[in-house]
Amino acid sequence: MEEILGQGVDAVVNFAAESHVDRSILDSSEFVRTNVQGTLNLLECSRRRRVSRFVQISTDEVYGSLGPAGSFCESSPLAPNSPYAASKAAADLLVRSYHRTYGLPAIVTRCSNNYGPFQFPEKLIPLFITNALADLSLPIYGDGLYVRDWIHVRDHCSAIDRVLHDGRPGEIYNIGARHEMPNIEIARLILRTLGKGEGLMKHVEDRPGHDRRYAIDPSKLERELGWSPKVPFEDGLAETIRWYQESPSWVEHVRSGEYVTYFDRMYRQRQRTLGEL
């Protein structure tokens, strides 16, 4: 990495991560290795090679869970509840320390839940779409009233681009599109769009430590950098559903092999616990 950064790299934007909460619950060691140690390696190389901008792609999950009201701002306390969120929070603090201690021009962005094309079907929206397309059940954790704040991946990318060019070193910027929705409503919307019945929804045993609600306040990014999201949720979701309908070979490829074992471990056993299989 140091050799690569020595070849005249202007900026590092660190997207790389083990990114799925459920997988971190099954085994957190890879999450610490990639998300914490991996970020430290990048920071150290960037410091030595005097990279002029470092952007850490973080998540709203570092803030933990919200009650029915309010939203997270950049000064909200860190209270991660899953091993994934804890590893991302640890990385955020390392980034902060490299800015404070060594003057590395580093910035952290914390984004809400993404959706869009090419998303691996372990994540909620592509899981529901690909299962519905295959007439498989849509596993709904607990009562399904867990609320997430959704943003299209294009809007996340435009925000990162803005932060990369105009963000202030040492700052944190929340990224979100102010679109909260309970998981069960997303399932209904997808089923309706695909003309499938709600009978495909199956409540499964809840995720341990499941955060009830996330909502992100992106006012700082809007105010300071003039950013705003452009993709309305209903349009973005319809476009995403179409993309998965038109990409069966991509879906088939990513849903083979290790994914099958993972899916079985995550959901089928949970349904058995509830006696629904």
Ligand X SMILES: NC(=O)c1ccc[n+]([C@@H]2O[C@H](COP(=O)([O-])OP(=O)(O)OC[C@H]3O[C@@H](n4cnc5c(N)ncnc54)[C@H](O)[C@@H]3O)[C@@H](O)[C@H]2O)c1
Contact mark string toward ligand X, 241..260, x via CB under 6 A? --------------------
Residue closer to ligand X by CB (options 59, 82) is 59
CA nearest neighbour of 106 among 12, 19, 34 = 12
Contact mark string toward ligand X, 104..143, x via CB under 6 A? -------x-xx-----x-----------------------
Q: Is 211 in the site for ligand X (CB under 6 A)?
A: no
Residue closer to ligand X by CB (options 35, 137) is 35
Give me the sign of the Cα torsion angle 33, 216, 129, 250. Answer: negative
Residue closer to ligand X by CB (options 32, 133) is 32
Contact mark string toward ligand X, 154..193, x via CB under 6 A? ----------------------------------------
Active site annotation includes 122:
no
CB of 168 to ligand X, least distance (A): 20
Active site annotation includes 141:
no
What residue type is 208 in one-letter code? P
Q: Max CA-CA distance within the chain?
A: 58
Q: Is 85 in the site for ligand X (CB under 6 A)?
A: no
Phi, psi (deg, nearest 5) at residue 59: -140, 155
CB of 228 to ligand X, least distance (A): 18
Q: Dihedral, CA atoms, 254, 83, 89, 80, nearest 10 degrees?
A: 120
**Interacting residues with ligand X between 36 and 65 (CB under 6 A):** 38, 57, 59
Active site annotation includes 84:
yes
- Beta carbons within 10 angstroms of residue 159's beta carbon: 26
Q: Is 34 in the site for ligand X (CB under 6 A)?
A: yes
Rounded CA separation 55/236 (Å): 26
Looking at the chain, which runs of residues are DSSP E strands? 11-14, 53-59, 106-111, 113-115, 138-141, 147-152, 172-175, 180-182, 201-204
Q: Is 89 in the site for ligand X (CB under 6 A)?
A: no
Please tell me which residue in 60, 122, 155, 211 is annotated as part of the active site: 60
Which residues pair with residue 109 across a beta bridge? Answer: 57, 173
CB 16 within 8 Å of CB 38: yes
Please tell me which residue in 18, 61, 92, 155 is annotated as part of the active site: 61
Residue closer to ligand X by CB (options 171, 276) is 171
CB 142 within 8 Å of CB 78: no
Q: Give the tokens for residue 237.
A: 């979701």
Contact mark string toward ligand X, 4..23, x via CB under 6 A? -----------xxxxx----
CB 95 within 8 Å of CB 184: no
Residue closer to ligand X by CB (options 15, 67) is 15
Q: Which residues contribute to the site for ligand X (CB under 6 A)?
A: 15-19, 34, 38, 57, 59, 88, 111, 113-114, 120
Catalytic residues: 60-61, 84
